[in-house]
Chains A and B, each alone.
Chain A
Amino acid sequence: MTAIALRMRRSFDLKNRRNRQRLIANTIGLFILVFMIFPVYWMVATAFKPPRDILRFDPKWIPSPFTLDNFDDAVHRPYFWDNVKNSVIIVGVVVVLSLVVGFLAALAIARFSFYGRRAFIVVIIGVQMIPATALIIPLYILLARANQVDRLTGVIITYLTFVLPFTVWTLRGFIMGIPRDLEEAAMVDGCTRFGAFMRILLPLIAPGLVATSVFAFVLAWNEFIFAYVLLSSQEHQTLTVWLASFTTSRGTAYGPLMAAATLTSLPVVIFFALVQRKVAFGLTAGAVRG
């Protein structure tokens, strides 16, 4: 066989191999999907089962009969609504603060060249590596000194340690995705720097702002250790601390526990589903450039 014939033959074989590969990949992919998603399914399924279907050695795969009692039980446990409220307040304030403050800094490092820019970037990336267990020790001592332990303000301050660097870095990425030529063109056409910012950058960055705020929301909503250390009284705790203390205080009431876990992850899952599209949109919006 000549070399060319050999190559054509190989190319043909490759196509066949591709199809076979796809079939195999799809089959393994299905297994992986089932294994990965099973824990989440098991949480939701358990949440809808009556106790006798939960506490049995042979598991019941589908919740029938179907009940909402576990959810009813979970939301009527002491401090549930207090702690939902605390989580919402803390997360809301942290997200707004870090978004406003972080956006300005992101603008500076994405759009200006100045002395110390690289050092600032190193700091922003570097501080995200500091373990929370290390930071909480001095933070606790300092907040105790300032009488801010067991108060939401103390927790809000500590959450800025990890949410703010995150928003600065993420927003920087989004701002850089928007071509500077657009702003420059507007300025050439007679817009002021501020005008170009308001008319060009801000509308284009909106999806990025939404995506970043949702990611920041998720970070703050999921946080455990700072809230756990700083908020000692039950009515001041956050939802994650409430959920983590569920087993210890109640033994193994798995139905209500799984209902509570479902409720805790619900806002995150919803927001994540929303943001996935926004992020994709933000990225494509960034890709359509001059």
Chain B
Amino acid sequence: MSVAPRAATSAADLGLSDRRRSRGLRAGIRDNVTPYLLLLPTIAVLVGVLAWPLYWLGRISFEHFGLEELIAHKGTWTGLDNYREILGNREFWHIVLRTVVFTVVNVGLTMLFSTLIALLLVRMGRFMRVALLVGLVWVWATPVVVAITIWQWMVDFQFGVFNWAITKLHIANLVHYNWFDNSLTGFAVITAVVVWGAIPFAAITIYAGLSQVPQELVEAAEVDGARPWQVFRRVTFPLVKPIFVIITSLSIIWDFQVFNQVWIMLENRPSPDYYLLSVFAFVSSFRVSQYGLGAAISVVMVLLMLSVSFVYVRQMIQISEVDQ
């Protein structure tokens, strides 16, 4: 789902269009039954496909649930055993650390490049701006599985265009270099795929925010002798801060659960030094059939993300309240 809701936060949702706050709106129609009737189908679906499975996720995490239990449709209650097992496992803490570092690096790079691109977009001529926006949207529209396949081909150890370019530029001799032999360079490629795919959404959204900043404010500051960095820090940034909070927290949430890029890139069998939390949960459940263990890992993962999710949801609510 990493790429999934990327389109969700369009400029309109972020409240970038200057919506008029009309008093009559919320006070408008009062009706007791209709809204609940309208919600009923959605609530029914959400309970069925989300609430019920989530209850099961929690329940299985306290059970021994392997292949036998899957066939018998019934787990054996083991209390906190699953949690004890993973929290007492040093390998698990390595994976947590790896996931955190991976997230920090990916979010950092995504935000850095996206902000720079957004700042450039504001300063470009019209033609170049449209060209770059079209290019970004194109990258945005590339399905993640396709993106992974392309990068696999570009870093192919024999005929990859990457190895050729780096060798030709005399940066390093990468003839017949396999990037995935070493998990550090392997993760460099995975980071490239993730960041490349994440830049368009972040850059376009930040650009939409920046273009709403009144030009007079910037000019006034410049005429008063503010340096470009000062203008950004004191004028532009405070105005687009809500968007930064949203994009950063969304990126953290998405990058913390990266799965496809690792799994498909390493052809469905990543070695343990490529495990991120989501991969570990997946392998525990669907490779070694320890569903209880996998569920416990997932629960820990959700708990770790909870504070970031909280920041994100709160910011979204605040912005959506402004809309009304």
Identify the closest chain A residue to B123 (Cβ): A25
Partner of A138, one of B34, B260, B295, B320: B295
Q: Is the CB of A166 within 8 A of B5?
A: yes
Partner of B12, one of A36, A130, A173: A173
Decide yes or no whether B73 CB sits under 8 A from chain A. Answer: yes
Q: Is the CB of B154 within 8 A of A137?
A: no
Decide yes or no whether A56 CB sits under 8 A from chain B. Answer: yes
The count of residues in chain A whose C-beta lies closer than 8 Å to any C-beta of chain B is 117
Q: Is the CB of A40 within 8 A of B139?
A: yes
Q: Which of A235-290 contact B (CB under 8 A)?
A: 240, 243-248, 252, 254, 257-258, 261, 264-265, 268-269, 272-273, 276, 279, 282-283, 286-287, 289
Partner of B161, one of A42, A243, A273, A279: A42
Q: Which residues of A contact B219 (CB under 8 A)?
A: 14
Interface-facing stretch out of B24-32, B178-186, B236-244: B24-32
Decide yes or no whether A161 CB sits under 8 A from chain B. Answer: yes
Decide yes or no whether B104 CB sits under 8 A from chain A. Answer: no
Identify the closest chain A residue to B308 (Cβ): A129
Q: Which residues of A contact B24 (CB under 8 A)?
A: 180-181, 184
Identify the closest chain B residue to A17 (Cβ): B222
Q: Is the CB of B10 within 8 A of A279?
A: yes
Q: Which residues of B contact A218 (CB under 8 A)?
A: 7, 141
Given A42-B154, A114-B35, A118-B317, A244:B145 Cβ within 8 A: yes
Given A26-B124, A101-B45, A113-B27, A59:B317 Cβ within 8 A: no
Q: Which residues of A contact B223 (CB under 8 A)?
A: 7, 10-11, 14
Q: Is the CB of A138 within 8 A of B12?
A: no
Cα distance, A125 to B323, chains bound together (Å): 16
Decide yes or no whether A76 CB sits under 8 A from chain B. Answer: no
Decide yes or no whether A96 CB sits under 8 A from chain B. Answer: no
Decide yes or no whether B81 CB sits under 8 A from chain A. Answer: no
Decide yes or no whether A168 CB sits under 8 A from chain B. Answer: yes
Q: Which residues of B contact A174 (CB under 8 A)?
A: 12
Cα distance, A165 to B42, chains bound together (Å): 9
Partner of A137, one of B20, B279, B298: B298
Given A29-B132, A240-B143, A258:B153 Cβ within 8 A: yes
Q: Which of A144-173 contact B (CB under 8 A)?
A: 144-145, 157-158, 160-162, 164-166, 168-170, 173
Q: Is the CB of A169 within 8 A of B42?
A: no
Q: Is the CB of A286 within 8 A of B12?
A: yes
Decide yes or no whether A71 CB sits under 8 A from chain B. Answer: no
Q: Which of A161-201 contact B (CB under 8 A)?
A: 161-162, 164-166, 168-170, 173-174, 176-177, 179-181, 184
**Which of B123, B158, B253, B294 has the most chain A CB atoms closer than 10 A to its own CB?**
B123
Q: Is the CB of B294 within 8 A of A176?
A: no
Cα distance, A33 to B34, chains bound together (Å): 50
Given A10-B223, A224-B145, A254:B153 Cβ within 8 A: yes
Q: Which of A82-137 contact B (CB under 8 A)?
A: 101-102, 104-105, 107-109, 111-114, 117-118, 120-123, 125-137
Q: Which residues of B contact A247 (CB under 8 A)?
A: 149, 152, 267
Q: Is the CB of A104 within 8 A of B153?
A: no
Q: Is the CB of A129 within 8 A of B45?
A: no
Identify the closest chain B residue to A45 (Cβ): B161
Q: Which residues of B contact A33 (CB under 8 A)?
A: 131-132, 135
Given A42-B161, A137-B281, A221-B143, A126:B309 Cβ within 8 A: yes
6 pairs across A/B with beta carbons < 8 Å?
A: A133-B298, A161-B53, A162-B1, A177-B17, A244-B145, A244-B268
Residues of B in contact with A (beta carbons under 8 Å apart): 1-5, 7-8, 10-13, 17, 19-20, 22, 24-32, 34-36, 38-39, 41-43, 45-46, 48-50, 52-57, 60, 65, 70, 73, 117, 120-121, 123-125, 128-129, 131-132, 135-154, 156, 158-159, 161, 164, 175, 196, 199-200, 219, 222-223, 225, 253, 256-257, 259-260, 263-264, 267-268, 278-279, 281-282, 285-286, 291, 294-295, 298-299, 301-302, 305, 309, 312-313, 316-317, 320, 323-324
Q: Which 8 residue pairs of A and B lie closest in terms of their CB atoms, listed nearest first?
A: A134-B298, A138-B56, A272-B141, A105-B42, A108-B38, A112-B35, A131-B257, A25-B123
